Structure 1
Amino acid sequence: MKYISALLLGGMLLLGQQVQAQVTVTGQISDKDNNLVLPYASIINKTTGKRAYSDQGGFYRVTASQRDQLIFTFIGYQSDTIIVEQSTGTETRNVQLEVQNKMLPGVEVTAQYTPYQLDSITRRQQYGFMLDRKDLHLAGDNTPQGFGLTFSPITRFSRKEKQKRQFKKNFEKAEQERYIDSRYTPLLVARVTGLKGDSLQLFMHENYPDYNTMRMMHTEDLIYWITDKYKSWKK
């Protein structure tokens, strides 16, 4: 009887150790070249077979054990694998994936292109494999449906379709921010306002222009805009 009790106690202790030997692995999945976040990327625990996905911002959170292998995949990208190092607590692992095909056509460098335009053209070529794909119908869309349309669960509920749609939105937003940053530079703002260091960074952060405003303004108008914002900011 004592022997059985000892075995049961030992088994309970072992089970408790196994339950405790869990770690929360978290981080963000992004593109290695341009730091674009990768939404709905797949995370597979090769050791247990369990699968999870990142959210719209590329953030993920999975529970694993020490030495588990986690495989990260996203459509059009090379997969990557990490091994869980910790045995308990939270382990932060940011993952950057590389585009599978980097054979891009060359862009002729001429005076007609600005540095921003050249970078934008290159990025557009690099991610054409995602941006050129047509959007398929998803469940919940308000797209009118005609007679004879076949409802395919592959197209209506495909996570790859969600990946592609959110990736397009993220790409467009990133391109708009790059355009703003190409014109609304610390050098220009410092010349107009005389600000430096933390004050310059704070002013630019609190007075960050929107994309449509920047598209409409010429350089002279932008200087006047910065001047007006600075006068209000000082008060």
Structure 2
Amino acid sequence: MLRLIYLFCLLVLVAKADAQSLQGYVVDGESGLPLGSVTVVNVKTQKSTVTDITGFFSLGAGYNDQVAFSLQGYKAVYKPVPFSRGQAEMRVEMQRLSFELEEFVLRPGYSAYQIDSIERKAVYSRALSRHKSTVGSPVSFIAEKFSKRAKRIFRFQKNFNIWEDQKFIDTRYTPQLVQQLTGLQGDT
């Protein structure tokens, strides 16, 4: 029985000797300044900690465990724990995230109305490009006269042109400009 107790104590001591602590500093990759409030997580055990204002952290981790470092505005870093007896040291450099703007088109000299008009014409280009048939093609001419779809398209073209004219007038001649040019006040 004494042998079993001795063997059990020996196993516990060996297991404790294998336990490892990881500590180190997290710094900005460009400036080298310490980063506080970085979340440090042992991916295997899900134990976590947060760096202090000097960038220092200490976390329980075994050899070859994955440790994740994350902070908003920085790219996440994953590092394996290096082999060490007892305590491992680590210096982690985090890189800032860089954002790209989406592509945009610069149209100097265009008003908001003109840009909107160009975009609407591009959206409805297929319907707006349809032309009425001439008398030279009698079958197409007759088919268009009785086709509901053709009538709808031509009605849309007519309304689209009316809307374009109205939007142009509304953007070009504001109520203040009309009052200034004519001297009229109100709805007279």
What TM-score do the two structures reach when normalised by structure 1?
A: 0.39
User: Highest CA radius of gyration, 1 or 2?
Assistant: 2
What TM-score do the two structures reach when normalised by structure 2?
A: 0.48
Structure with greater helix share of residues: 1
